Amino acid sequence: MTMTITHLGTGSRGNSTLLETPHAKVLIDQGFSGTQLAKRLARLELSPDDIDCVFITHHHGDHGGGAKVVQTKWNIPVLANERTALELDLVPELTTYFESLDLVRVGQDLAVLPVPVPHAGSENVAFVASHEGERAAIITDLGSWTDELVTHVRGCEHISIEANYDHNKLMFGPYPYSLKDRISGRGGHLSNEQTGRFLAEVCTEATRSITLTHLSEKNNRPHLAESTVLYYIDEVFSGDLRISAQNGPDFSHYIGQDKASSKQEKASAK
């Protein structure tokens, strides 16, 4: 049995990730308009009606801005912590509140664990999804990390994590000082180097795929993110490393027993 991880798009203009098991289809974040979401799902031959529920990491528009529309337009349940739900003004009857570190079960073969991460002005969480003993971590928008996060992510088969900015590009770039400070601070975003160091702590032999997400269009470049991260994980990781762009879906990662390569080709051909 397989769990599929597909980023419908990541970046400051919207984020959403599809997790699929034989019995569940969930989205992590919904930062797109209803039309954009439907369009991106259609490329995978899916529609919003196929989605069982949507988990939201935090209330920033690029992650939660499209949460309410899936409730009002398609009656899809949304799961969030209380602060995030309040900030997004979610429809109470279609909202389930979770607490950090309380495992949420979806259908008969998927469980999702919210783990708190530091990100200023929000109560952000990362998610570790498990399916038949294999785990995928989806981590975004954090300025630093905790031992608790390391504990939960270490040894995951798949890890998606932001590599937001290249340190030099940010510091010598056009942003005002206050914004540079905010992005690079403890509650901001991870630089390529920080992402590399985090991955070096959590990758084990079990880790087979990594996706770098949420690259800044101004302060990063895919080749910089890739080469910097690889520098840190070269010794510990020999799997598949990819970069998710703003306009997806471009590819899927599969974890589990029957990683059908034909399916992989099908997704990347679209």
Q: Which residues bind Zn ion (CB under 5 A)?
A: 60, 62, 141
**In angstroms, what is the minimal distance from the CB of 17 to Zn ion?**
12
**In angstroms, what is the minimal distance from the CB of 93 to Zn ion?**
27
Residue 123 or 141 with smaller CB distance to Zn ion = 141
Burial 185-195 (b: 16+ CB within 10 A, else e): eebbbbbbbbb
9, 101, 108, 1 alpha-carbon torsion, rounded to 10°: 60
Residue 14 or 249 with smaller CB distance to Zn ion = 14
**In angstroms, what is the minimal distance from the CB of 34 to Zn ion?**
19
Residue 84 or 207 with smaller CB distance to Zn ion = 84
Q: Which residues contact 203 (CB under 8 A, 6 or more apart)?
A: 159, 210, 233, 236, 237
Three-state DSSP at 207 gives: coil
**In angstroms, what is the minimal distance from the CB of 215 to Zn ion?**
11
Residue 11 or 249 with smaller CB distance to Zn ion = 11
Q: Which residues contact 205 (CB under 8 A, 6 or more apart)?
A: none
**In angstroms, what is the minimal distance from the CB of 147 to Zn ion?**
22
Contact 224, 192 (CB under 8 A): yes
Residue 16's identity, in one-letter code, is S
Residue 138 or 203 with smaller CB distance to Zn ion = 138
